[in-house]
């Protein structure tokens, strides 16, 4: 029985269809379909019922899926056991934020691929919060403040940010001095999030309001440059604008508490070794190569 056929079946079962499984695997839909046909022919049973909406597991498919997933996991462990010490194999699917991913995290992933030539790394760059389990990711790198969830998080480094606005906005609307004054201003936000600020050792929470929202820090910076309002943006995005005077720090007496970069993984007793290695490499990166833009200050 071909291990790639087993892996493909597990991906189709978890993704709910041939097309999303093909995207996860990085192969064409025709290859996925051929692997499924061969596997069902070898077993002599139908594992998947094809529908217009995707693929649903048959009763036999439900039973076989868990066994197939265990076999694939055991094969990965066996391969790593006989590889030279420290080598990794298999595939690592990681979700990375678009705002910082290409500049700050892509070099780490590239170095990981260089060190482990038998490891396949598939990276998805997006600022949306992907569903790790439903979309088949091994882990995600997330920046900022964590939301409550059942996912397991490991902090790998700090990230600093500040409130900024354009000189034109400040000239027209003034500059808030205290957190409570933000209510009278247009806030540029990702959603309905709360903003936190330090007041000595205390943390003040504010629920700002605004008409411009975006799930990308670079887009929020563009809105701030256009004079649409005040935004909390990490220093890694705004440092050039602040240095040139295009954006001005606001309410500096009450800075936001430091946020962080995290590696998030689905719940489980032990993280996969490839996730542990990526986490350790990111921690090492933050410790040994502080980012002058402020992302790893």
CB 214 within 8 A of CB 220: yes
Stretch 211-215: mean pLDDT: 91
| pLDDT tens-digit readout, 25-66 | 888 999 999 999 999 999 999 998 877 777 788 999 999 988
pLDDT class for 193, splitting at 50, 70, 90?
confident
Query: What one-character-per-residue DSSP string does 193-261 give?
Result: --EEEEETTEEEEE----SEE-S-HHHHHHHHHTTS-EEEEEHHHHHHHHHHTSSEEE-TTSPPPPEEE
Structure tokens at 262: 């995290």
The Cα-based distances of 18 to 15, 22, 82, 131, 261 in angstroms read 8, 6, 33, 18, 33
pLDDT at residue 86 above 80?
no
More confident residue, 127 or 32: 32
Stretch 210-234: mean pLDDT: 93
Chain-centre distance for alpha carbon 106: 12
Question: pTM for this one?
Answer: 0.70
Specify the range with the lowest mean pLDDT, choosing from 190-194, 197-201, 227-231: 190-194
CB 203 within 8 A of CB 186: no
Dihedral sign of CA atoms 223, 224, 229, 231 in order: positive
**Alpha-carbon distance 231 to 64, whole Å?**
51
The reported pLDDT for the residue numbered 269 is 56
**Alpha-carbon distance 288 to 278, whole Å?**
15
More confident residue, 134 or 71: 71
pLDDT class for 115, splitting at 50, 70, 90?
very high
Grouping H, G, I as helix, E, B as strand and the rest as coil, residue 190 is: coil
Specify the range with the lowest mean pLDDT, choosing from 7-16, 110-119, 127-136, 238-247: 127-136
The reported pLDDT for the residue numbered 252 is 93
């Amino acid at each position: 029985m071909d291990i790639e056929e087993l892996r493909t079946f597990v991906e189709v079962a978890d993704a709910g269809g041939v097309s999303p499984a093909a995207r996860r695997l990085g192969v064409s839909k025709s290859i996925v379909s051929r692997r499924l046909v061969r596997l069902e022919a070898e077993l002599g049973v139908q594992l998947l019922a094809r529908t217009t909406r995707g693929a649903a597991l048959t009763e036999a498919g439900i039973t076989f899926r868990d066994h197939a997933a265990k076999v694939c996991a055991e094969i990965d462990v066996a391969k790593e056991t006989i590889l030279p010490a420290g080598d990794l194999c298999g595939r690592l699917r990681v979700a990375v934020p678009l705002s910082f991913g290409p500049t700050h995290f892509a070099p780490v992933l590239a170095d990981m691929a260089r060190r482990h030539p038998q490891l396949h790394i598939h990276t998805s760059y997006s600022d949306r919060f992907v569903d790790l389990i439903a979309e088949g990711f091994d882990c995600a790198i997330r920046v900022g403040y964590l939301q409550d969830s059942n996912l397991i998080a490991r902090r790998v480094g700090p990230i600093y940010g500040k409130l900024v606005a354009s000189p034109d906005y400040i000239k027209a609307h003034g500059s808030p001095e205290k957190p409570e004054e933000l209510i009278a201003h247009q806030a540029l936000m990702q959603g309905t999030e709360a903003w936190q600020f330090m007041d000595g050792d205390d943390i003040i929470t504010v629920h700002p309001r605004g008409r411009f929202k975006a799930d990308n820090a670079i887009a929020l910076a563009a809105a701030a440059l256009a004079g649409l309002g005040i935004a909390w943006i990490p220093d890694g995005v705004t440092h050039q604008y602040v240095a040139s005077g295009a954006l001005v720090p606001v309410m500096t007496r009450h800075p936001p508490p430091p946020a962080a970069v995290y590696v998030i993984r689905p719940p489980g007793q032990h993280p996969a070794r490839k996730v542990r290695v990526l986490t350790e490499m990111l921690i090492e990166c933050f410790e040994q190569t502080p980012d002058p833009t402020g992302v790893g200050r």
